[in-house]
Amino acid sequence: MGLIITPAQAATTTTTSTEASHAKGGFPPFQTDTFASQLVSFAIAFVLLYWIVSKLALPRVGGIIAARQGAIDGDLAEAQRLKNESDAALKAYETELATARANAQAIGSEIRDKLTKQADLERKQLEDRLAAKLADADKSIATTRAAAMGNVRSIATEAAAAIVHRLSGVTADVQAVKSAIDTTLKA
């Protein structure tokens, strides 16, 4: 770049040589007699700036940023903690609800079982009683029937003897008639 500039500069130095007399000619960035002064002041300025930046400015700004990050992280952690707490509370509530529901179901089924058992028991008792009554009734029917059947036989024997007597005039043998009646009834 300097090479491109030099012709223009060379043209202007001729017109401004009186003003630039102290500069000893040449393109200012290439005037070697200014180098030592610039190097010394640059060294001082740079070391000073480096010291200020590294010892004072950056630790302070970094501290501010770190403190803010810490505050944000702390707040986020606090929010997370509160969220976990509410989640735990919700879970506890749900567990409690489930337990209560299960309890209610258990109580309900227990009562249902008890009632069913009681009903079964009562029905059985009733059935037993009814069966006993039925048996009694059967027995009395059988007795009555047997009695009736006995009566039927004696009536039949007498009637048969009378019929035989009337028809043949012979007094029928009672024993024969009885056996004949029994055979007939059995048939």
Partner 1 sequence: MASDPTHQFEIHKLFSLGHIGGQEIAFTNSSAYMLAAVGVVSLLMLGGSAGKQLIPSRFQSLAELSYEFIADTVRSNAGEQGMKFFPLVFTLFMFIITANMIGIIPYTFTVTSHLIVTLSLALIVFITMIVYGFYKNGLKFFRLFVPSGIPIYILPLIVFIEVLSFFSRPISHSVRLFANILAGHITLKVFAGLVTMVGAMGFVGWIGAIIPLGLTVALTALEVLVAFLQAYVFAILTCIYLNDAIHPGH
Rounded Cα distance between 28 and 174, Å, is 177
Quote the least distance from Cβ 46 to partner 1, whole Å: 7
> Which residue number, 2 or 169, has a Cβ lying nearer to partner 1?
2
Distances (CA, A) of 81 to 44, 77, 87, 183: 53, 6, 10, 106
Structure tokens at 6: 């030099």
Binding mask 75-114 for partner 1 (x = CB under 8 A): ----------------------------------------
Quote the least distance from Cβ 68 to partner 1, whole Å: 6
Does residue 64 belong to the site contacting partner 1 (CB under 8 A)?
yes
The Cβ-side half-sphere exposure at 185, using a 13 Å CA radius, reads 16
Quote the least distance from Cβ 82 to partner 1, whole Å: 21
Rounded Cα distance between 163 and 170, Å, is 10
Instruction: Specify the DSSP element, H or E, that contains 33.
Output: none
Question: Under the rule (CB under 8 A), what is the footprint of partner 1?
Answer: 1-2, 5, 8-9, 12, 15-16, 19-20, 22-23, 27-31, 33-46, 48-50, 52-54, 56-58, 60-65, 67-68, 71
